Amino acid sequence: MKRCEWVKLNEPLYVEYHDKEWGIPVYDDQHLFEMLCLEGAQAGLSWWTILQKREGYRVAFDQFDASKIILYTEDKLQELRQDSRIVRNKLKIASVVTNAQAFLRIQEKHGSFSEYIWGFVDHQPIINEWSSIADVPATTEISDRMSKQLKKDGFKFVGSTICYSFMQATGMVNDHIVGCICRSEGSVNEN
C-alpha cells in the first residue's frame, strides 16, 4: 500500500493522521480553530513534533474552546509557558489567545468560521494531481490571500506556508499524491 512520502510508516500515530484526517474536509468550527492553532505552533518545527503533542495541547488549551481561551489571565499564560506538553514559546502561546479573539469575531460576523475560511476555496475542496511530494507547493495564491486576510482580521502565526499546511490538514486542499491509498477518499470529517 502506497502512502504519501512524508508519512513516517513506522509511527502508527503518523499513519493514522495521514489515513484518517489529512486531506479530508473539515467543517466544524472548533476543529478548524484547533488545526489553525496547531499549524501556527508548528512554525519552525516539524508537524511530527506537534502531532505528538496534540493531546497535550487539547488539555492545556481547554479543547480549543475559544470562549474559554479569551479569558486566560497572565497567570494562566505563565502556567502554559511551563507546560512541557506543548511548545513553550511565549509568542506562540499568546497567539492562541489572540486567535481565539479573532475567531470569535469572525464567527459573529460570518455566522461560522467554517463559512468564512471555506470561502477562500469557494466552498469546494481543491483536488490536486501531484505525482510526488516534491511537486507539492509550500504556498499558493490562495494561501497568500488567506494569510493576508487572516492577518488583517487579527490572527497571528498565519503566514502563507502555515495557511497552506492548514488547508491541506483540513481538506480544503487534497494533496495526497497520485497513487496514495487515500487518494480516492472523499469522505467528510465531521469533527
For residue 62, tell me if it sits in a domain: yes
Active site (annotated) includes residue 39: yes
Taking only the tens place, the pLDDT of each residue in 111-158 is 999 999 999 999 999 999 999 989 999 999 999 999 999 999 999 999
Under the banding of pLDDT at 50, 70 and 90, the label for residue 187 is very low
Residue-level pLDDT at 184: 66
For residue 58, tell me if it sits in a domain: yes
For residue 34, tell me if it sits in a domain: yes
For residue 110, tell me if it sits in a domain: yes
Residue-level pLDDT at 186: 46
Active site (annotated) includes residue 72: no
Taking only the tens place, the pLDDT of each residue in 41-99 is 999 999 999 999 999 999 999 999 999 999 999 999 999 999 999 999 999 999 999 99
Active site (annotated) includes residue 34: no
Taking only the tens place, the pLDDT of each residue in 158-179 is 999 999 999 999 999 999 999 9
Q: What's the structural domain count of the chain? A: 1
How many whole angstroms separate alpha carbon 71 and alpha carbon 50? 24
Cα within 13 Å of Cα(186), Cβ side: 4
Q: Which of 22, 27, 47, 72 is catalytic?
A: 47
Residue-level pLDDT at 188: 40
Q: Are 22 and 168 in contact (CB under 8 A)?
A: yes
Whether residue 1 has pLDDT greater than 90: no
For residue 94, tell me if it sits in a domain: yes
Under the banding of pLDDT at 50, 70 and 90, the label for residue 190 is very low
For residue 52, tell me if it sits in a domain: yes
For residue 8, tell me if it sits in a domain: no
Q: Which of 21, 22, 27, 39 is catalytic?
A: 39
The domain spanning residue 100 has which CATH number? 1.10.340.30
pTM (whole model) above 0.85? yes
For residue 86, tell me if it sits in a domain: yes
Range of the structural domain that residue 85 is part of: 13-174
H or E element: which one contains 33? helix 29-42
